[in-house]
Amino acid sequence: MKGSLLALMIAAVSTGVAANTYQNETTLNYGWGDIANTDSDLDAWQLSHRFYLSPVDTSGNAPLAESAFINKNASVFATLGRFSVDGDDQNNWSVGGEFMSSQHNFYGSLEWTHFSNTNDQQVDASLGYFITNDWLVGAIAEHSSPDEGGSTTNYGVMTKKLWDLGTGDMMNLEATVLDYRNWSTTRYGVGADYYFGKNFSAGVGYQWLSDGVFSESEDSLSLRARWFAMQNLSVQAEVAFDTLETADDLYSVGVSYRF
C-alpha cells in the first residue's frame, strides 16, 4: 500500500516531464521585507492560476519561461493575495486575461483587482502589436479607484523583445513608461533576462520616478532568477532594493507547476 502511494506521488509530480505541452500553470509566491522609516514588517502571499485556451508547445528552442509568449497562447487567470503589515492583514483578488494568437499579430490584456473590505479597485489594460513574432510593442493604461475616492487613470507605452543569440541562449529585453499625470511625474522601467538554454535564467530590472528620463527622484534595482528543475516545475527568487512602493528592500521566492 505504501509503495502504491509513493508511486502515485512520484507520478503526480513527474506528469508532463516528458510531455511537450501544458495548459495550466499554478504559482505560489511569498514575499517579505520592511517599510522604510518605520518599524513595520511586511509579509505577502500570492496564489495564482493561469489557464491557456490552447495547449502551450514547449518542444521548440525558446526558453520554457517564454513558451506562451513565443507561441502566442491566449490565457485567462485568477489570483488571490494576502499581505500583512505588523499583523494587520489585507486580502485581494484579481481576474484577467491575455489575448494573442498565431493567426494574427494583435495583443491585448486586462486585469481587474479588488481589495477586500474596501472599495479599492484597480484595472490594468494593454493593447499591442507584434512587429515580429518575438517583438511586442503596445500602449498601457492603469486605472485606480481608491477607497477614499478620487479615481485616476495613467497611460504609457511598453515593449518586449526576445533575442535569439544563435548559441542556444536567448535574452529578453523589456521597457515601460507610465505617466502619472496627477503627480506630474513619470515611472520608467527597464529589464533584461539572460536565458542559459531553456531551463535557467538570471535577470535584472531597474525602475525610477522622474519628471525627466535622466533626473530620477526615486529608483529601485532588482535581481531575479528562475530555474526549471523539471520541464513542468520551476522555482524563482527575486530581491528588490529600495522598492518604489516601500522605499526599502523586498525579497520573494516562489514555485510554479505546469500540467
Mean pLDDT per 10-residue segment, the chain (259 residues) = 45 53 98 89 96 96 97 98 89 97 97 91 97 97 85 96 95 97 90 98 96 79 98 98 92 98
Q: Looking at residue 213, what is its pLDDT? A: 67
Q: Looking at residue 149, what is its pLDDT? A: 72
Distance from C-alpha of 122 to C-alpha of 96, rounded to nearest angstrom:
12
- Rounded to the nearest 10°, the torsion over CA 100, 194, 225, 56 is 30
Q: Looking at residue 7, what is its pLDDT? A: 47
Question: Which are the contacts of 128, defined by CB distance < 8 A and separation ≥ 6?
Answer: 106, 107, 108, 136, 137, 138, 139, 158
What is the secondary structure of 116-143 as a DSSP string?
TTS--EEEEEEEEEEEETTEEEEEEEEE
Give the residue from 222, 221, 239, 231 showing the smallest Cα distance to 257: 231
Q: Looking at residue 217, what is its pLDDT? A: 81
Q: Looking at residue 249, what is its pLDDT? A: 95
10 Å CB burial of residue 99 (0-12, 13-18, 19+) is: middle
Vertex 208, ends 90 and 223: CA angle to 5°?
75
Q: Looking at residue 8, what is its pLDDT? A: 42
Residue type, 106: F
3-class secondary-structure state, position 6: helix
Q: Looking at residue 17, what is its pLDDT? A: 43
